[in-house]
Structure 1
Amino acid sequence: MGSNKEPFEEVEQMEQLRASKGIGNQVEHPVAEPHLNWRVIPVTVAFWLAWCAWQCTFNLLSGILTYVNADIGPDPNYTWAVIVINIGIAVIWPIAGELRSPPGKVLLQRVDLIIPLGSLSDTFGRRYFFLIGLSFSLVGSIVACTAQSIPILILGNTILGIGTAMHQMILAGISEIYPNKYRGVAIASVNFVSLPFAGLGPYVAHIIVERLTWRWIYYVAIIIDVVAFVLLAVFYHPPKPHRELSRRQLLKNIDFLGLALFALGLTVFLVGVSWAGSTYSWSSAAVLVPMICGGALLVACGIWEVYGTKNPLFPPFLFKDMRGFTNVILICFVASMPLLSSLTFWPMQIANLYTTDAVKIGLYTLPLTMSTVFGGVLTATIRWWKPTNYYLVGCACLYTVFTGLLSTLGPGDLNKALAYAFLYGSGVGLLEIAIIVIVQFSVSADHLGAVTGILSSMRGISGAVGISIYGSIISTRLAQDLPQRLAGATLPLGLPESSFPLLLQDIFSANVAGIPEIPGITPAIIRAADTARRLSWAEAFKPIYWLGASLGVVAVILSYFTHDITPKMDNQLDLDLKEHEPSHLHNVLPHHHHHNHHHHHQDGKKGEVEQQEIRVHSTV
């Protein structure tokens, strides 16, 4: 075991030394602003389109999932059509996350052996990861748009989820083709161009349902993915990472056991959570067995990652940087759970408290979705906020306060609901994008893809867990509150007791058309039943906001204990598409690599290389 861990321990020591210096104590050398190659434009457009495609399928589908279930269902597991996309992001990213490993430096070459996140991209090149991801998205969209049942839709979205996971590399890919000081703007631009699908998505989705068919969500995604594929295939030719191992050796270095434990454990655990409170009770074996088994597999995965493998999916040395990495990952988990869950449950809350009109549901959802885009775009201003950890605290406070206020909403509070949703979404949008910028600056450039990948993986885990837990909470609370409230509102008005089960069943199944046919029903009873239904739904949503506000308090505390990244926002460019090499390593590591293998550098050149090498490692 000791010999197997030796390479990992050397890199761990290097990272601990970097962390001990602290990002705020670096001595920066002025860097001239680079001239960007023209290829940056079509590549940026391709990144924008690919990001829009996955936002289209995920956000639009989340808002109309109940309509899809009514069309090709019903199926009690219909929420898994969204959950499997999050699982795909969570599981695939640990393998696909690392975009590159820098060439040349002997110790850094061994990162290829230590960090399996980069193994597949080292094997095939990150350009092909984007193209393969788009191919998976195309196949998944084709399967989903032709689905005639919920299980087939889930299958299509499972394939789509693999492609969606690779789409997350866009956040790292677009970051490295622009200077550091514009990184916030670059990432914010990705958020901005997704406005038609992320911001206007719910309204667009309900218009599609009303006038076309939900399948057009996938038709649009297919068109966008094809255009993005062509642009990347023609214009995106980044450098191939230096590789001293064969493809077969690199594939052998991937921690497939860790991946299997992680994927199986997460999926089994989520099965138990999704069944709890709706299909089965929380205390039933059908819920407890998968939750316990899934949790045990995840614990086993953690033990294996730390002690059992030399190629961990989640490198432990990254998690030892509490301020730069671990705290940011935890903030990501806290923020992503309510955001990704609200995309599914906020339209449901609108429909059950305020209106059943499909177009109005879409309109009333816009304040939430538009504000998340608005908040993400505001992240472009992060370079002018000093220190950035205070900026993050402010974002977390905004999110926390208005998450709590959302729990006070009732059936007559439409205006307050729209205002609170906008401010809540702004806080979440600010927080979500800001942590991506901060975590990328908190590590060396050669780990840019790795940390972005783990961040996106955590986002996927959080979203999948959030949708399952929130769905179970709502179902459980509704099953507890609605029968009693409905009985108290209708039986005193003269509804026959024999008719009450029929009324309860129609309300639970949203069978509005069948209610007037119930024996003994009157207009007064229908109005009372509708009021009781709305009040029960309002009560059912409160606990999810209490949970979100509690997590928000944790996010506020963690945000304070993060790095100030202001010193890193300079003119440094990580990837020049013209030179096809990482520009910040171009004059250092290749020469050093050449020296190690051929031993014929002159002493003067060696001294220059060593000085530049010191600069590279000091500007981590």
Structure 2
Amino acid sequence: MHSIKTTSEEVERIDQVRGSESISNQVEEPIPEPHLNWRVIPVTVAFWLAWCAWQCTFNLLSGIITYVNADIGPDSNYTWAIIVITIGIAVIWPIAGSLSDTFGRRYFFLIGLTFSVVGSIIACTAQSIPVLIFANTVLGIGTAMHQMILAGISEIYPNKYRGVALASVNFVSAPFAGLGPYVAHIIVERLSWRWIYYVAIIIDVVAFVLLAAFYHPPKPYRELSPQQLLKKIDFFGLILFALGLTVFLVGVSWAGSKYSWSSAAVLTPMICGGALLGACGFWEVYGTKNPLFPPFLFKDMKGFTNVILICFVASMPLMSSLTFWPIQIASLYTTDTVKIGLYTLPLTFSTVFGGVLTATIRWWKPTNYYLVGCACLYTVFTGLLSTLGPDDLNKALAYAFLYGTGVGLLEIAIIVIIQFSVSSDHLGVVTGILSSMRGIAGALGISIYSSILSTRLAQDLPQRLAAATLPLGLPENSFPRLLQDIFSSNFQDIPEIPGMTAAIIQAAEMASKLSWAQAFKPIYWLGAALGVTAVVLSYYTHDIRPKMNNQLDLDLKEHQPSHLRNVLHHHHHDDTHYSKEGEVEQQEAHVHGAV
């Protein structure tokens, strides 16, 4: 028994040595170009399809959720049909990513696709909002596992093509991510919102068949039995993390919209969830030998912690802008639904375009300067968005495109960088933590921005509207009704207000636009401040270009265990440069033989 315990501890110590090696110490000799197995092609197509499926259900539904509520509602909780998907991604993905590093990713992909198909079937037959929320909860579990594609596609191509591989995922999703708002409105007008789920079902089924047939990667721990693998799972930490983050995000989702930030309905879940997450962190550091999220990852400031912080400060403005940009378009420039969809495209499409441009990261040296450039682009145009007024439509579209390009570049580039900052046997967990941080930041950003917007509008609009309309002859007893109609966007009833004239309507419209323009300014000021933080953090990240070589982390050749611990990545290490690595390999071979 003592021998087995010692062996397990040695395995964990070896894992930490591998995972905590700095990028600067991982200088590789030239590695021959690997010959990719033909299975890479159908597996890549399956990854593309699965990514498109979740973009279809999430992005398209987000753009038409009010139409869905009108069809099978109305229900005041209709936005939870979207929120449950984001919570599912934030909670499930890092757990699934960590477990997939231990058990392999094949069955996580297949289980995730099954959840997605079942959730979509329930959703496309839903006749009420509560049923749709339940369906999207099931779908959210599958969607979380779809995110594993970011790790899965990275390891089946040589390191030098990792940026291209991740960029390709962004590129193929353009019809659903970049053109999502416009496509969604076309579907509603010509077909039915249920077709969003019909399309997702078809795509997911094809992806399932392709992965079931062709995706048979070697298992990470071929030398351990299923019972031994199960013993490696930190179930207590898993429960603490899942429960804590879920409760915390529920509180955040209520803040600023349904309840005020100071209400018990918001503070109670946020405090309780935060306490559970704190307990999870303490447990992971001091309470378990097999942590779900290895603490040594957070000790690498340049490779991991700074990148996580960049993700947080960049995701708050990004997720918020995707929510509030259509509102800004409708408030300042047009109320035509088709035009709103078209004017939203520069932002949504540019985030996809920026992600595709990440393929160029391989040719930049050092890569931390590349990241600084991306952060600068996003920061500058976030600030410029604060200057927009009612007559600046062309500027608005141009600024939104360049802002979105910077954010898209930054979002995908940090995935590439964080994946190279650890050994490949932690690829799932680091990518999962990054995506979870994006979800947390997005939820916080939307709540904070919503509070700022409503507060500033409530302060500015009454005074500005009164100054514009009362001198033109609007009766004082008609002013409260005018104010209420503008606040609730009930513009069609404004001409019926007693004492209303064409001149007063025109003045009220301009006053409303100016107030909205003022209300949006602090949102972009906050985004620019976060951008400056991202610029500084980006400078203090690793230059990962030395790792962008011919090394292949996972070979899909049948019965060829090339993954992680079982081979030396298709090449032999130089004894001089890799004395530490060789020592680890020898210890590992001894340990595995003992097991």
> What do the CA deviations read for 1:482-531 (whole angstroms, capped 9, x no partner)?
33333333333333343333333333332233323333332223222222
Equivalent residue number for residue 109 of structure 1: none
Gaps of 5+ in 1: 99-115, 591-606
- Change in Cα spacing, 1:580 to 1:369, as seen in structure 2 (3 Å) is farther
Please report how far the alpha carbon of residue 12 of structure 1 lies from its aligned counterpart in structure 2 after TM superposition. 7.3
1:222-233 equivalence runs, <5 A: 222-233=201-212
Give the secondary structure class of the aligned counterpart of 1:33: coil
Indicate the larger mover: 74-83 or 444-453: 74-83
Query: How far, CA to CA, are the matches of 2:160 and 2:39 in structure 1?
Result: 20
Query: How far, CA to CA, are the matches of 1:212 and 1:129 in structure 2?
Result: 33
Given that residues 425 and 564 in structure 2 are in contact (C-alpha distance below 8 angstroms), is that contact kept between their aligned partners in structure 1? no
Equivalent residue number for residue 48 of structure 1: 48
1:93-492 equivalence runs, <5 A: 93-98=93-98, 118=101, 122=103, 125-242=104-221, 247=226, 250-251=229-230, 253-492=232-471
Which among 555, 575, 580 is matched to residue 534 of structure 2?
Answer: 555
Aligned length: 577
The answer to whether residue 85 in structure 2 is matched with residue 85 in structure 1 is yes
Indicate the larger mover: 139-148 or 540-549: 139-148
> What do the CA deviations read for 1:176-198 (whole angstroms, capped 9, x no partner)?
11111111111111111111111
The answer to whether residue 593 in structure 2 is matched with residue 614 in structure 1 is no
Given that residues 210 and 358 in structure 1 are in contact (C-alpha distance below 8 angstroms), is that contact kept between their aligned partners in structure 2? no
Amino acid at match of 1:455: L
Gaps of 5+ in 2: 570-574, 587-595
Equivalent residue number for residue 110 of structure 1: none
Query: How far, CA to CA, are the matches of 1:32 and 1:423 in structure 2?
Result: 39
Query: How far, CA to CA, are the matches of 2:282 and 2:173 in structure 1?
Result: 39
Amino acid at match of 2:158: P
Equivalent residue number for residue 507 of structure 2: 528
The answer to whether residue 549 in structure 2 is matched with residue 570 in structure 1 is yes
Indicate the larger mover: 216-225 or 436-445: 216-225
Please report how far the alpha carbon of residue 350 of structure 1 lies from its aligned counterpart in structure 2 after TM superposition. 1.1
Give the secondary structure class of the aligned counterpart of 1:499: helix
> What do the CA deviations read for 1:133-159 (whole angstroms, capped 9, x no partner)?
111111222233333443333322222
Query: How far, CA to CA, are the matches of 2:20 and 2:265 in structure 1?
Result: 48
Given that residues 89 and 144 in structure 2 are in contact (C-alpha distance below 8 angstroms), is that contact kept between their aligned partners in structure 1? yes
Query: How far, CA to CA, are the matches of 1:182 and 1:265 in structure 2?
Result: 37
Equivalent residue number for residue 599 of structure 1: none
- Change in Cα spacing, 1:520 to 1:443, as seen in structure 2 (3 Å) is same
- Change in Cα spacing, 1:539 to 1:210, as seen in structure 2 (3 Å) is farther
Indicate the larger mover: 54-63 or 513-522: 513-522
Given that residues 8 and 310 in structure 1 are in contact (C-alpha distance below 8 angstroms), is that contact kept between their aligned partners in structure 2? no
Please report how far the alpha carbon of residue 359 of structure 1 lies from its aligned counterpart in structure 2 after TM superposition. 1.5
Given that residues 327 and 562 in structure 1 are in contact (C-alpha distance below 8 angstroms), is that contact kept between their aligned partners in structure 2? yes
Give the secondary structure class of the aligned counterpart of 1:64: helix
Query: How far, CA to CA, are the matches of 1:305 and 1:506 in structure 2?
Result: 53
Equivalent residue number for residue 590 of structure 2: none
- Change in Cα spacing, 1:313 to 1:521, as seen in structure 2 (3 Å) is farther
Equivalent residue number for residue 592 of structure 2: none
Please report how far the alpha carbon of residue 296 of structure 1 lies from its aligned counterpart in structure 2 after TM superposition. 2.7
Query: How far, CA to CA, are the matches of 1:248 and 1:443 in structure 2?
Result: 27
Give the secondary structure class of the aligned counterpart of 2:137: helix
Give the structure-1-normalised TM-score. 0.85
Query: How far, CA to CA, are the matches of 1:273 and 1:472 in structure 2?
Result: 12
Query: How far, CA to CA, are the matches of 2:452 and 2:249 in structure 1?
Result: 14
Query: How far, CA to CA, are the matches of 1:373 and 1:14 in structure 2?
Result: 39
Given that residues 261 and 298 in structure 1 are in contact (C-alpha distance below 8 angstroms), is that contact kept between their aligned partners in structure 2? yes
Please report how far the alpha carbon of residue 52 of structure 1 lies from its aligned counterpart in structure 2 after TM superposition. 0.7
Indicate the larger mover: 474-483 or 387-396: 474-483
Please report how far the alpha carbon of residue 457 of structure 1 lies from its aligned counterpart in structure 2 after TM superposition. 1.8
> What do the CA deviations read for 1:363-390 (whole angstroms, capped 9, x no partner)?
1111111211111111111111011111
Query: How far, CA to CA, are the matches of 2:579 and 2:293 in structure 1?
Result: 32
Please report how far the alpha carbon of residue 18 of structure 1 lies from its aligned counterpart in structure 2 after TM superposition. 5.3
1:50-89 equivalence runs, <5 A: 50-89=50-89
- Change in Cα spacing, 1:59 to 1:6, as seen in structure 2 (3 Å) is farther
Amino acid at match of 2:445: G
Between the two proteins, what is the percent identity of the paired residues?
84
Which among 443, 448, 472 is matched to residue 493 of structure 1?
Answer: 472
Given that residues 200 and 370 in structure 1 are in contact (C-alpha distance below 8 angstroms), is that contact kept between their aligned partners in structure 2? yes
Amino acid at match of 2:471: P
Given that residues 303 and 418 in structure 2 are in contact (C-alpha distance below 8 angstroms), is that contact kept between their aligned partners in structure 1? yes
Query: How far, CA to CA, are the matches of 2:499 and 2:6 in structure 1?
Result: 79
Given that residues 44 and 153 in structure 2 are in contact (C-alpha distance below 8 angstroms), is that contact kept between their aligned partners in structure 1? yes
Equivalent residue number for residue 510 of structure 1: 489
Please report how far the alpha carbon of residue 549 of structure 1 lies from its aligned counterpart in structure 2 after TM superposition. 1.2
Amino acid at match of 1:464: A
- Change in Cα spacing, 1:506 to 1:315, as seen in structure 2 (3 Å) is same
What is the RMSD of the two structures over their aligned residues, measured on CA atoms? 3.0
Given that residues 369 and 425 in structure 1 are in contact (C-alpha distance below 8 angstroms), is that contact kept between their aligned partners in structure 2? yes
Give the secondary structure class of the aligned counterpart of 2:477: coil
Please report how far the alpha carbon of residue 612 of structure 1 lies from its aligned counterpart in structure 2 after TM superposition. 12
> What do the CA deviations read for 1:441-472 (whole angstroms, capped 9, x no partner)?
11111112221122122222222222232233
Indicate the larger mover: 155-164 or 507-516: 507-516
Given that residues 136 and 163 in structure 1 are in contact (C-alpha distance below 8 angstroms), is that contact kept between their aligned partners in structure 2? yes
Indicate the larger mover: 28-37 or 526-535: 526-535
Amino acid at match of 1:348: I
Given that residues 60 and 196 in structure 2 are in contact (C-alpha distance below 8 angstroms), is that contact kept between their aligned partners in structure 1? yes
Give the secondary structure class of the aligned counterpart of 1:38: coil
Given that residues 331 and 513 in structure 2 are in contact (C-alpha distance below 8 angstroms), is that contact kept between their aligned partners in structure 1? yes
Please report how far the alpha carbon of residue 10 of structure 1 lies from its aligned counterpart in structure 2 after TM superposition. 5.7
Amino acid at match of 1:468: S
Indicate the larger mover: 306-315 or 14-23: 14-23
